[in-house]
Chains A and B, each alone.
Chain A
Amino acid sequence: MVRLNASWLALPLIGFVVVTLVVPIFSLAKLSVYDATVADALPKTTAALRSWTGPELPDANTYAVVAAELIELQENRELGRVASRVNRIASGMRSTISKTPRRFRRSEEERADLALIAIDEKWGKPQIWYAFKQATQAFSSRNFLQAIDMRIAPDGSIERAPEYQRVYVSLFLRTLLVAVAVTLLCLIIGYPMAYAMANSSPLWTRFLLVLVLIPFWTSLLVRTTSWIVLLQQQGVINDILVFVGLIPDDERLTLVHNMTGTLIAMTQVLLPFMILPLYSVMATIPRNLSLAASSLGANPFQSFIRVYLPNSLPGVAAGGLLVFILSIGYYITPALVGGSQGQLISNLIAYHLQSSLNWGLAAALSVLLLLGVFVLYVIYDRLIGIDRMKLG
Chain B
Amino acid sequence: MNPRPWRALQGAIGIFTACGFLFLIGPLFVIVPLSFNAEPYFTFRMEMLVLEPDAFSMRWYQTLLEDEEWHRALFNSFFIGICATIIATTLGTLAAVALNQPRFPGRRTVMALLISPMVTPIVIVGVSVFFFYSTPWIGLSQTYLGLILSHAMLGAPFVVITVTATLAGFNQTLMHAAASLGANAWTRFRRIQLPLISPGVITGALFAFATSFDEVVVVLFMGGLEQRTLPRQMWSGIREEINPTILAVATLLIIFAVLVLFTVEWLRSRTARQLQPN
A residues neighboring B (CB under 8 Å): 1-2, 4-14, 16-18, 20-25, 27-28, 31, 189-190, 192-193, 195-196, 208, 210-230, 232, 234-236, 239, 268, 271-272, 294, 299-300, 325-326, 328-332, 336, 346-347, 349-350, 353-354, 359, 362-363, 366, 369-370, 373, 377, 381, 386-387, 389-392
Contacts and interface: CB of A to CB of B under 8 A. Distances in A.
13 contacts: A2-B176, A28-B128, A192-B13, A217-B260, A225-B250, A230-B30, A235-B42, A236-B42, A331-B121, A336-B235, A362-B127, A370-B120, A390-B165
B149 interface: yes
Interface in B251-278: 253-254, 257-258, 260-261, 264-265, 268
Interface in B54-68: none
Which 5 A-B residue pairings sit nearest by Cβ, starting from the closest?
A329-B121, A24-B132, A10-B98, A24-B128, A226-B27
B170 to A, nearest CB: 12
Contacts of A9: 94-95, 97-98
A261 B220 CA distance: 22
Contacts of B165: 390
Interface in B173-194: 175-176, 179-180, 185, 188-189
B236 to A, nearest CB: 11
Interface in B95-111: 95, 97-99, 101, 103-105, 107-108, 110-111
Given A369-B121, A373-B119, A232 B21 contact: no
Contacts of A391: 158, 161-162, 207
A25 B268 CA distance: 36
A373 B120 contact: yes
A284 B28 CA distance: 31
Contact of A28 (B98, B114, B127, B162): B127
Contact of B24 (A13, A14, A24, A215): A215
A356 to B, nearest CB: 13
Contacts of A215: 24-25, 28
A234 B21 contact: no
A292 to B, nearest CB: 14
B152 A16 contact: yes
The listed residue with most B CB atoms (<10 A of its CB), out of A22, A222, A377, is A222
Contact of B95 (A13, A349, A362, A363): A13
Contact of A389 (B92, B161, B234, B235): B161
B35 to A, nearest CB: 10
Contacts of B103: 5, 7
Contacts of B120: 21, 25, 329, 370, 373
Contacts of B156: 13, 16-17
A207 to B, nearest CB: 10
A232 B42 contact: yes
Contact of B123 (A271, A294, A346): A346
B62 to A, nearest CB: 20
Interface in B113-135: 113-117, 119-133, 135
Contacts of A329: 120-124
A371 B263 CA distance: 38
A235 B27 CA distance: 12
Given A218-B257, A336-B239, 8 more contacts: A12-B94, A21-B128, A193-B17, A211-B21, A217-B264, A220-B214, A336-B238, A386-B112
B30 A17 contact: no
Nearest to B255: A218
Contacts of A6: 97-98, 101, 185, 189
Contacts of B180: 2
B179 A2 contact: yes
Contact of A299 (B6, B17, B176): B6
A210 B24 CA distance: 11
Contacts of B124: 25, 28, 329, 346, 349, 366, 369-370
A10 B6 contact: no
B95 A14 contact: yes
B246 interface: yes
Contacts of A192: 13, 16-17, 20
